[in-house]
Amino acid sequence: MFLRIDRLQTELPMPKEADPNAAAALQELLGGKYGEMSTLGNYLFQSFNFRSKSKLKPFYSLVANITAEELGHVELVSTGVAMLNNGPGDPEDYDIGAAPFEDMKDIRLAASFLSNGGGAMPMNSNGASWNMDFVTTTGNVIFDLLHNFHLECGARLHKLRVYETLTDPTGREVCGYLLVRGGVHAHAYALAIKKLTGVEIEKMLPTPNIPTDRIPESAKYLEEGSHRRLYRFSPDDYKEMAGIWGGGEQALPTDPKGTLEVVDGPPEGGKIPELEGTPSAFAPDYAPEEMYEIATKLWKKSR
């Protein structure tokens, strides 16, 4: 089962203005080959299909727990996409007859407005749908862990390239945070392979060699120690992964020094920004004031 918390894993700054083409670039981190839908799908189905769970509990616990974090990463990227598509807010009054959204027909992913109201969808930066062909689950724990290591390394390269195309603080914050957390996951899978085979694959890291300490949005997470932490997304389960992540293991030489640790519970995170509906685009509807009144009454009734 999954426990959902109504917060993002980290706080995102509001965009300076609507930038739907930047949102399209960020879509690659959601529905691209190495995007968060792929990391989630791989670990989710590997955890479902895992054999000998009780005998290989530390390795199952690692994959299952990282799955939960990836759900939050999908939410984080999706929120960033929606924020960039919508911007910090819209004027209250529109003249529908004056084509107030004329510019939207020329954006790279016009369907993100025309069909999805400026929201995120499981697709890449060109609008191609994410698909199950990006998921590998073989039933062989070593092969799956090696695939996961490759996937996380590819995802970090993904994120750097997207970061280097963006100037808005919202998209850059998403990339900066995920670059650090992706490094944690790559390191964790490398250590798991080492425990199983004796091969010191963690010596390959950082692969790719990304100087996260020179990326402001990443450096602050390094300074607070996020690169050393695996969060345990469960009240009581997945404690066995501490045998892989921890136990005197050190942070990578390229990162600030420190001992790896498992933290009970999720990160503190940040509030999910509230995106306002745009009545002239019929979101939430042509009579939003009535809907707001109904929602307010229901909310008061629930208290």
Q: Is the dihedral of CA 230, 233, 236, 240 positive or negative?
A: negative
Residue 114 lies in a domain: yes
CATH of the domain at 285: 1.20.1260.10
Residue 1 lies in a domain: no
User: Three-class SS of residue 220?
Assistant: helix
Predicted pLDDT of residue 80: 98
Largest CA distance in the chain: 68
Q: Does the annotation list 36 as a binding residue?
A: yes
pTM for the complete prediction? 0.94
Q: How would residue 286 be classed by pLDDT, with cut points 50, 70 and 90?
A: low
Report the number of distinct structural domains present in the chain. 1
Cis status, amide bond into 266, omega within 30 of 0: no
Predicted pLDDT of residue 92: 62
| Mean pLDDT of all residues in 165-172 | 96
Q: Does the annotation list 152 as a binding residue?
A: yes
Strands of 119-214 (E only): list them. Answer: none
- State pLDDT tens for residues 62-100: 999 999 999 999 999 999 999 999 887 665 666 778 887
User: Three-class SS of residue 146?
Assistant: helix
Residue 2 lies in a domain: no
Residue 255 lies in a domain: yes
**Per-residue pLDDT at 220 exceeds 60:** yes
10 Å CB burial of residue 195 (0-12, 13-18, 19+) is: middle
Q: Does the annotation list 70 as a binding residue?
A: yes
Please give the C-alpha separations between residue 253 and each of 202, 218, 249, in angstroms, as whole numbers: 10, 16, 12
- State pLDDT tens for residues 228-268: 999 999 999 999 999 999 989 999 999 999 999 999 999 99
- Per-chain mean pLDDT for the chain: 94
In 3D space, the residue among 276, 269, 206 whose CA is nearest the CA of residue 73 turns out to be 269
User: Three-class SS of residue 232?
Assistant: strand
User: Three-class SS of residue 72?
Assistant: helix
| Mean pLDDT of all residues in 15-41 | 96
Q: Which two tokens stand for residue 178?
A: 């995920």
Strands of 28-94 (E only): list them. Answer: none
Q: What is the spatial distance between Cα 59 and Cα 53, in angstroms, rounded to a whole number? A: 8
**Per-residue pLDDT at 104 exceeds 70:** yes
Residue 268 lies in a domain: yes
Q: Is the dihedral of CA 130, 82, 106, 160 positive or negative?
A: negative
Predicted pLDDT of residue 89: 67
Q: How many CB atoms lie within 10 A of CB 104?
A: 18
Could you list the residue range(s) of the whole structural domain that residue 225 is in? 7-302
Q: Does the annotation list 234 as a binding residue?
A: yes
